[in-house]
Amino acid sequence: MSKHSLLVIDDEADYGSINTKNEEDPTSINKKIRHILSLFSKSAYVAYTATPYANVFIDHRAYKEDIGSDLFPKDFIYALNSPSNYFGAKRVFEEKMRRNVSYISENEIIPLNHKIDFKVKVLPEKMMEAVQVFIINIAVRNLRGYRNTHNSMLIHSSRFTDVHKQIEKYVNEYVYNLIVKIVDYGKLPLDGAEIQSEEIRQLKEVYNKKFNLLEFTWDIILKEICDYSSTGSGNEIKININVVGVYSKSEKELNYLDKATNVIVIGGASLSRGYTLEGLSVSYFLRNTIFYDTLMQMGRWFGYRSGYEDLCRIYMTEKKADEFEEILNVTEDLMFDFKLMSEKGMTPGDFGLAIEENPDSALQITAKNKLKNARALKK
């Protein structure tokens, strides 16, 4: 293959391609990438990642005769600027008001550090509120002219499949009962609907609390919910919001069809990397991880939210929101160094890169086996 040139593009460059073992016996994916590159007289490896922490700590001197050098970005690191319409960590967590964040109590019914045999007996109050917000969001997007677009909600509150299954069951029941009540009473005169139905009264309270700047009045919203949320009636009623578990051995599969799909997605690790949730507007996030990269990759709510950014809500503890902000500040410092290095015309090996880790914080940059080449320096 000496006559041919090769370009390898790695779009998850901080994950499987990092060598987390000794250089004498590299991890499988790392070894195979390096071997493929070594087969060509001219080859280039271009790495993309939203969380470049582990890449900075690849050993720039590592070399094996049969597969060549490790994947340290020796030639350049280029920091891409976020487009103005990108709904990213800076927009969500840096603002003092954090208008897109709704706090969950540390004493929620599902504790952060629950075990594999944890039994879910009822849905947390804030999770039910998040579902209500999602139901209103769909109505608002429809009224804004986005009827033919997908709408998604994420519930990421455990790392255990059995807990996901329990949550899926309870959410399914809650959504069904809520929509049936709304359809049964929602077409009554407003006062009558609220008197007859506790569910409609609660939904209106959520509307008043979370949507006070909305351009549509409550009566218009309620009518739209009644129109979109179900088809049929009585025993033949079909709810137009699907609840889907995305985890191992799940009986359902998440498919966005040609027609608009409204879906509540429940899952854990399977949703952390490379998983796109179309039209995601509500996230209920209750996970406990200490690594910068893992936490940022769990943020499925980052993305482009044109036309409904004001509707986006992320439910999490205040402590978790503070941790996201801490990582944001560290990442901005790292991006500044990347740009400074580029302006000076220096390579990463010449410049020397560092990532700040707060000794008073529980957060760590990345897994220890990705930090094996790092040295601790005092600021």
pLDDT at 248 over 80: no
Residue 329 makes CB contacts below 8 A (sequence gap 6+) with: none
Give the dihedral sign, CA 129/131/135/141.
positive
pLDDT at 2 over 70: no
- Overall average pLDDT of the 221-233 stretch: 90
pLDDT of residue 273: 67
- For residues 116 and 124, is the Cβ–Cβ distance under 8 A? no
282 — pLDDT class (breaks 50, 70, 90): very high
User: How is residue 79 annotated by DSSP?
Assistant: P
CA distance 364 to 356: 10
pLDDT at 56 over 90: yes
pLDDT of residue 128: 97
Q: Which residues of 54-76 are buried (b: 16+ CB within 10 A; e: fewer)?
A: bbbbbeeebebeebbbbbbbeee
H or E element in which residue 133 lies: helix 125-143
Q: What percent of the chain has pLDDT over 90?
A: 66
CA distance 162 to 272: 18
Residue 280: beta bridge partners?
152
- Give residue limits of the domains in the chain: 5-76+347-370, 86-325
Residue 244 three-state SS: strand
Which of 169-173, 300-304, 332-336 shows the lowest mean pLDDT across its residues? 300-304
